[in-house]
Structure 1
Amino acid sequence: MNHRGKKFVASYSGGKDSLLAIYRAIQMGMEPVALIITFNTDRNESWFHGVPEKVLQEVSKSLNIPIRLIRTSGEEYAQNFEKELLLQQGNGVEVCIFGDIDIEEHLEWCAKRCEAVGIEAFFPLWKEERRALVEEFIKVGFKANITVVDTTRLSEKHLGKCLSAKIISSIVLEGADACGENGEYHTFVSDGPLFSYPVPFAYKDKVYSNQYAILPIQTKV
Structure 2
Amino acid sequence: MYLIYYTFWGSLLKLVSLYSGGKDSNYAIFEVNQHGHEIVCLLSIVPLINDSLLFHFPNIHLTPILAEAINLPLRKFQSKSSKLSDEIQVLENALVKIRKEFDIQGIVHGGISSNFQKRNFETVCQKLGLSVFSPLWNLPPSKYLHKMIDQKFEIVIVSVSAMGLERQWLGSMLDHEKVKNLESLSLKYRFNLNFEGGEAETIVVDCPLYKKKFRIKEGIVRWFGDNGIFEITDYELINK
TM-fit CA distance, 1:169: 0.8
Per the alignment, residue 46 of structure 2 pairs with 39
Residue type of the alignment partner of 2:20: S
> How many residues get paired?
217
Normalising by the residue count of structure 2, what TM-score does the alignment of the two structures yield? 0.82
Residue segments in structure 1 that go unaligned for 5+ positions in a row: none
SS in 2 for 1:161: coil
8 Å contact kept, 2:18–2:25 = yes
Match of 1:216, SS state, is strand
Runs of 4+ residues deviating >6 angstroms:
none
Structure 1: how far apart are the matches of 2:170 and 2:234?
18
Aligned equivalent of 2:219: 204
Unaligned ranges ≥5, structure 2: 1-7
Written as runs of structure 1 = structure 2, the 5 A alignment for 1:39-188 is 39-40=46-47, 48-53=56-61, 55-73=62-80, 74-75=82-83, 76-90=86-100, 91-174=102-185, 175=187, 176-188=191-203
SS at match of 2:212: coil
Change (3 A) 1:4 1:158: farther
Residue deviations 1:77-124 (CA, integer Å, cap 9, x gap): 111110111122222101100111112111111111212211111100
| 8 Å contact kept, 2:20–2:63 | no
Alpha-carbon shift at residue 42 of structure 1 (Å): 7.4
Question: How is 1:17-36 mapped onto 2 (pairs within 5 angstroms)?
Answer: 17-36=24-43
Output the aligned Cα RMSD. Answer: 2.1
* Inter-partner Cα distance in structure 2 for 1:20 and 1:121: 16
Quick one: distance in 2 between partners of 1:102 and 1:148? 20
Q: After the TM superposition, which of the residue ranges 99-108 and 203-212 deviates more from structure 2?
A: 203-212
Cα 1:29–1:190 change in 2 (3 A) is same
Give the TM-score normalised by the residue count of structure 1.
Answer: 0.89
Quick one: percent identity of the two aligned structures? 22
Aligned to 1:215: 230
Mapped contact 1:4–1:28 kept (Cα < 8 A): no
